[in-house]
Amino acid sequence: MKKSAIHVKDKVMVISGKDRGKVGQVKKIDRKKERAVVEQVNMVKRHTKGNPYSGQSGGIQEKEAPLHYSNLALICDSCTKPTKVGYTWTEDGRKLRFCKKCNEMLD
């Protein structure tokens, strides 16, 4: 399965790794790498060098690192749980997602 069910602004839960169980909103998606950046999840520390010319002080900055789709599960607004996504098509050919647990539309 190559297509992701995850879209920007979706609420997702991390289902594996060190941040398992964390919930956040998707900020960014990299379709080629099949990765998503989730707000406040999978934070990594980055050391930055200070720049005296621009007045920036060096230090440690925290930033979200992208997570692979397979580590994320979409959360359904209706049942508020991580869910499996099903697809349906509208009469004019648009693809819509729905929650396989409660059958509510996700788009």
Binding site for Zn ion (CB under 5 A): 76, 78-79, 99, 101-102, 104
Min. distance of Cβ 74 from Zn ion in angstroms?
A: 10
Q: Which of helix, strand or coil describes residue 107? A: coil
Nearer to Zn ion, 11 or 22 (CB): 11
Nearer to Zn ion, 62 or 104 (CB): 104
Nearer to Zn ion, 5 or 37 (CB): 5
Min. distance of Cβ 83 from Zn ion in angstroms?
A: 5
Alpha-carbon distance of 35 to 28, in angstroms, equals: 9
Residue among 19, 8, 5 nearest 73 (CA) = 5
Please provide residue 56's backbone torsions phi and psi, each rounded to the nearest 5 degrees: -80, 135
Min. distance of Cβ 33 from Zn ion in angstroms?
A: 28
- Tokens at 17, concatenated: 């790794």
